[in-house]
Amino acid sequence: MKRPALERLAQILHQVPAQLSAFSSEEWNTPYGPGKWNKKQVIGHLIDSAVNNHQRFVRIQFEDTPVIRYAQEEWNQYSYHRLQNERLLLQTWIAHNTFLLALLQQIPEAALERTGIGGEGKPFTLAYIVDDYVDHMEHHLKQIL
């Protein structure tokens, strides 16, 4: 599959890890405000997004309109991202997304119109979810950087 989103994901994986590695432990652990996540929790959220979207990218190709929901607050809380080592989180994020980029590059163009059902009960195409995955990542990386 060739999509601009994949080129953007490759660029992110090439540039962003060095930028994230430059943060101090204090910067990783400081919340954005009262009741807000810190950088570790945002990267953890992006890991959770990778894990959940991996399922979407695969299942939509062979299941008839799978229902795939994701409770982001609960995933973040019970993955204990806030308590994890920031280097481990960064390595995990890089590894998941490197794998997903390779997976996405293999998806046949014909599969892009297959559909799934998301958390709001609305259908989405595989093409939409691929683009949305990278858009979502860029949104949160801007928040961090």
Checking if the pLDDT of 111 tops 80, the result is yes
Split into its structural domains, the chain has a count of 1
For the chain, how many residues are written? Answer: 145
SS3 117: strand
CA proximity to 116, closest of 127, 124, 108 = 124
CATH classification of the domain holding 86: 1.20.120.450
Residue 95 token pair: 């590894």
SS3 8: helix
Q: Per-residue confidence at 25, pLDDT binned at 50, 70, 90? A: very high
User: Is residue 33 assigned to a domain?
Assistant: no
Q: What per-residue confidence (pLDDT) applies to 104? A: 98
State pLDDT tens for residues 66-96: 999 989 999 999 999 999 999 999 999 999 9
Tokens linked to 24: 């101090």
Does residue 119 sit in helix, strand or coil? coil
SS3 74: helix
Is 134 contained in some domain? yes
Is 28 inside a domain boundary? no
* Residue 32 covered by a domain: no
* Residue 44 pLDDT: 98
Average pLDDT over residues 21-36: 96
98 assigned to some structural domain: yes
Domain assignment present for residue 8? The answer is: yes
| Residue numbers of the domain that contains 114 | 4-20+38-144
Evaluate whether residue 31 is within a structural domain: no
Inside any domain, residue 25: no
Distances (CA, A) of 23 to 20, 54, 92: 6, 28, 17
Residue position matching structure tokens 């959770």? 48
Quote the radius of gyration of the chain (alpha carbons, Å): 16
